Amino acid sequence: MSGGKVYKPKPVSGFPEWLPEQRLIEQQWFDHIRRVFESYGFCNIETPSVEELDVIAAKGEVDKEIYVIERLHKEEGEKSDARLALHFDQTVPLARYVAQHWDKLVFPFKRYQMQRVWRGERPQAGRFREFYQCDIDVINNDTLPLHFDAEMPAIIWEVLS
């Protein structure tokens, strides 16, 4: 480029980007985890990557840095209109999902999610700002039988063995 600046590509810190061989291994792990979850009767759900900022903050004091979504071009003097944020775990999206679909779900509701989450933390070795969370939960409308608690270590053992 004559007279222009040359851009040298580099990864964004804290956001993994795998080569095809690494991505293949990651996908094989996801397939294995998914098979184990489903063999125990968990159904898959997917929620949006964003939640309303007020919903995320309603959980109480949030000790995570949250990535908000806001327009790049605002009118001069306009305040931030950020009302959406990337979720930092699956808890808030699951709570909203269950509350929204309560009358359509069968209880006990056994669900799993395998989705990306985002945390605005300083990246370190083994700690990313963006990563996949593989999450399972059992929700009931009354008391939850104890055997569901016993099932969790069995699932973890089967996934990791």
| Rounded average pLDDT over 9-37 | 95
DSSP 108: S
Q: In Å, how far are 5, 40, 63, 110, 139 from 144, measured between CA atoms?
A: 62, 16, 29, 11, 7
How high is the pLDDT of residue 105?
A: 97
Q: Decide if pLDDT at 13 tops 80.
A: yes
In this prediction the pTM is 0.85
Which H or E run includes 113?
strand 109-118
Mean pLDDT of 102-130: 92
Q: Is the pLDDT of residue 118 over 90?
A: yes
In tens, the pLDDT along 48-103 reads: 999 998 888 776 666 668 888 887 777 766 666 678 999 989 999 999 999 999 99
Architecture of domain 20-70+81-160: 2-Layer Sandwich (3.30)
Domain boundaries of the chain, sorted by first residue: 20-70+81-160
Mean pLDDT of the chain: 89
User: CA 44 to CA 28: how far, in whole Å?
Assistant: 17
